[in-house]
Structure 1
């Protein structure tokens, strides 16, 4: 409810309301960006660009209830633009600062396996499992059909299961 009110106020030029919107979604934007870019510096760049674009175009948001979906979509587009500019995948060792991931052995194995997925598969896994977004929300954010989201989730789970069971001896079903 407060997002809705803040969006309406921000659309009327209230900078404090826009700031509150960003603060309420800041951690989520960070996690999503880091999962795609896997670079702290580029993550910060993508978030800054996302905030600037959102501020400049908040008046064009037709449905205030969809602010979260709208800003995540802007962020993902920014992340992919950064990746396209670099034309290579950026390596990373860990997601040490990932707030929702516990630091025990099995979670490290899962985190490493997720990092090895392609951007398309990693994005849907992170949005679905780490950000608790629905398949419909992911479909709207990534701008792909619901069926494609389901297919990518299925493929990603299969790849994770194969990776975790064959290489590490970890049963992915124990982690759920």
Structure 2
């Protein structure tokens, strides 16, 4: 009930109500995101969530649905981050292993440092190894 009243007040332009909503939900949202990502990425993603909340709050038609709406925004932000990172890691794997390009060429194509290419390859190999170990495949 408190959140619903704060949402209505914030929708009417009351900055103090918006600040109170953020204060009430900042830690629970960060905790949720942190459970999905490491601490550094959780901080980055959480920073992206609140502007989206502020931009979309006026379009929230059911103020009583604020909490599920808020967590939906957080979930989408986490998913977008993971999808983006997965695509970058996959891109390096395709270029290096399937297209048979050098680490240097992969770095030029992806416009990242050579060290980034190496770390993405290392992480991808580790994830693949863990996945195969989980399926009972041993090297």
Mark yes or no: TM-score above 0.5.
yes
Structure 2: give runs of 5+ residues left out of the alignment: 88-139
Q: How many residues align?
A: 87
**Alignment match, 1:55:** 54
Cα shift at 1:15:
1.8
**Alignment match, 1:43:** 42
Q: Structure 1 length normalisation: TM-score?
A: 0.47
Counterpart-to-counterpart distance in 2, 1:13 and 1:48: 22
**Alignment match, 2:64:** 65
Cα shift at 1:73:
0.5
Give the RMSD, CA atoms, in angstroms: 1.2
**Alignment match, 2:31:** 31
* Correspondence 1:114-153 to 2 at 5 A: none
**Alignment match, 1:18:** 18
**Alignment match, 1:93:** none
**Alignment match, 1:141:** none
Structure 1 runs (4+) greater than 3 angstroms displaced: none
Larger radius of gyration: 2
SS of the equivalent of 2:61 reads: coil
